[in-house]
Structure 1
């Protein structure tokens, strides 16, 4: 009988160093080194980002009122878009997890070839004699294919649990989006009213700045010339400089208000736009809900508490997953097979079967997994309690702050009215040559400062009003509103929704439009 040839051990020993050298060369050639971006690549990237940051936005066609500013923030604010994309990603992950519950359908194709026949003989175990001559039952080149469907009961159970958890991840992403939108609308209210003040008063501040400078120069000349007692012009300069310093401080706050509002609406910083001039005459009333009802509403609606509740539900499902991992697995399969081997009597056949397996180590690790789930649940429960306490405090602070801002606005409004009357009296005295121009300039500055304070008090009240809704977890938009809507349509819906909530701004706008 012809002996099969094989390589001697010495041949393998001689080939080993050569193979090692080739492997070392290959690994050296595959080494990866850091490749920083080139200057032109950074320039192109920056240009692309700048072009896309405010692309595809509806142009500003007229003065922007509060509700159009809200609509633009909801539609174009990039923080809101990030959360919207995060929500869309969670939904795609849920779709992907749902496919894991389906049976697996696998198609394979296998080609095997050799330069000679495999052949084979049979040798007796008892006598050691070889029977039959070398023979083969396989072609030298064989192409085999199969299409097999399999379904694992344990994998299905785990996939179902993971899909349910992914569904709650969608809910968590939705709550995070709600939280961001609440914050954005709160910021828009404050920025909008500061922008109104800027548009209404910055021009006056700049005009009076010039007049004040002239008055200070005249007072300084009087002091140096000794035309009056030194104390009088110095006292006047001190009063005027004090008012001027306050006006400059308030003007500094207002100077960036329109840019801040533009950023919230995702308008480029250099965009020239006007804001609608709303009336200051609005009726602000305390919230009618009792404290306990407000707390109940907040605990039901706050995004942070809802997020923890979804996490707790997912943690309970993790315990179910731990139990499932400890169970035996049952895999059922069936498939169509085909082979090009000409020695086979049946080259096409249907294969089927079942296989059970059990990883016993998972049984031993089950108590540890349960302990982890329990600890995680306790942590989430304590977080919920801590958030409940924090939310309760925020609700009370927000309501107290709102009521304080209402009183503060009333005081600022009355102060402004009194100052206007004083200025009129001083102006009449100046026109009748009974009072000096310096006295008139001082009162004009006082009037301007009181007007700016009045507007800033109104902006602070608007922020406090929005903060109450945010602390209660009440959405600033309704579910049927979408960022895909045109700005005018979305702004109209927001206007109507806030009017139903008895928002004084919407009520005042409706009154002015009817009149």
Structure 2
């Protein structure tokens, strides 16, 4: 009896020991050295495997680097790859279920029993057995459930729509990225073109400011005039600092978009092509229709609605009884069996009545979600149409703003040339000349910034319409090849617009 009690208590003791050990688990934080090593690894991998900078970066190369190396866009690419991998995995759920089982059993004694004759009501006390103490069993079963197949087919269709949604997310991120690169590139090129003159003018301003401060403390000139002159020079210096800070931020932001390590030295190709004035000669309603049909957000909403419709179909299918057919091949080492190998086939049907009672609630959820998605589609339509309309207005506004900035720069250059002549003739002071040179520099910077804003409006208008203009970045495509493809992509975008009854004309030269 003691031995039986020991055998009975052993599983209980093992279970209790496992429970106690599970309760004794404590948090195990990483060490500081681990975090440091991980940080070094992240920094090294952040900009790893990138083609080095070999010269001045053109707009096409900046776009290519952003398309190929920008981490936010690569996240969207990985999300698309993950969605495709999930779809590939979902295909396996359509196949029949195949299960292989193998087991070994052993007893410390024989499984023996006595019997009772139910007719004579006499007991046969001689023990007998029909099983060996040790047995090995193996079976392989193949089953196919019609209901599971139908539900898996619907889930695979939903997964395929998820792949398309991830593609539209990538497109939206791509459009925004290219728009930002264009803007920051031209603002950063303004910094490169003007930084030398800014530094030189700042040195002259500092010298003039020191001279003005000295004069304001003396008695050889009117102190009020000297202080006013000093104040104007301080304003000039402040304007120089503000302009420099605003433009240097653009270069830092451009480096981030290209995934260059902060502090990396690089130069830009500051040459410019004349901007093509885009004129849209088609009805506004047709432009709206083109934009609403092409924008990634609305396409994504369409796929989400289709996923929800598939979900309602799955809810209906869940109410259908499940019919399962199976075939199993078995093998057992029990020596008492007459047939140790056998095949069994069968079919079974089950019906979850709870799914029938749950259907009204599930139908209400899917209908509510469909109404929500439909309302979002209408809201997105209004947003897209508004963005397109504002894009058209903004584009025309920046065309005029650039023209006015160029006109102001032309006038300011003539005024500065005249001021230099007056300064040579000693009819104006050095402070007045510096002030006009600063005004010319600011006018030139504003002209460049207006050009950058026009480029942003230009890219934003194409993006608001949803025009596809960039190829997919493959890891093995050389950077220069991708840059040329991107530059051709913008031209192709214009051709695409031209095919949609939008025309490009009136080349507007931009003054350097």
TM superposition shift of 1:214: 1.2
TM superposition shift of 1:46: 0.5
Does 1:116 pair with 2:109? yes
d(CA) in 2 for partners of 1:50 and 1:86?
Answer: 22
1:28-427 correspondence runs (5 A): 28-30=20-22, 31-131=24-124, 133-279=126-272, 281-427=274-420
**Larger CA deviation: 175-184 vs 342-351:** 342-351
State the number of aligned residues: 499
d(CA) in 2 for partners of 1:40 and 1:293?
Answer: 61
TM superposition shift of 1:23: 5.2
Does 1:429 pair with 2:443? no
Distance 1:385 1:279, change over 3 A: same
What's the C-alpha RMSD, in Å, of the aligned pairs? 2.6
1:436-515 correspondence runs (5 A): 436-478=429-471, 482=474, 484-502=476-494
Partner-residue secondary structure (3-state), 1:256: helix
- Whether the 8 Å CA contact 2:179–2:460 is kept in 1: the answer is yes
Distance 1:29 1:132, change over 3 A: closer
d(CA) in 1 for partners of 2:494 and 2:156?
Answer: 42
- Whether the 8 Å CA contact 1:54–1:267 is kept in 2: the answer is yes
Q: Normalised by the size of structure 2, how large is the TM-score?
A: 0.91
Unaligned runs of 5+ in 1: none
- Whether the 8 Å CA contact 1:172–1:310 is kept in 2: the answer is yes
d(CA) in 1 for partners of 2:113 and 2:28?
Answer: 57
Unaligned runs of 5+ in 2: 496-503
Distance 1:6 1:122, change over 3 A: farther
**Larger CA deviation: 146-155 vs 434-443:** 434-443
TM superposition shift of 1:314: 0.5
TM superposition shift of 1:316: 0.5
TM superposition shift of 1:22: 6.8
Q: Normalised by the size of structure 1, how large is the TM-score?
A: 0.91
**Larger CA deviation: 80-89 vs 455-464:** 455-464
- Whether the 8 Å CA contact 1:100–1:159 is kept in 2: the answer is yes
